[in-house]
Amino acid sequence: MLAAAMLAAGVWVVAAFADGPSMDGIPPVPAPGMVTMVDLGAHKCIPCKMMAPIIEDLQKTYSGRASVIFIDVWEYREQAQRFGVRGIPTQIFYDASGKEVGRHVGFLDKQSIVETFEKLGVPK
Residues labelled as active-site residues? 45, 48
Burial grade of 70 (CB within 10 A; 0-12, 13-18, 19 or more): buried
> How wide is the angle at C-alpha 11 spanned by C-alphas 53 and 116, nearest 5°?
65
Residues 6+ apart with CB under 8 A from 101: 93, 94, 95, 120
CB atoms within 10 A of CB 9: 10
| DSSP 3-state of 119 | helix
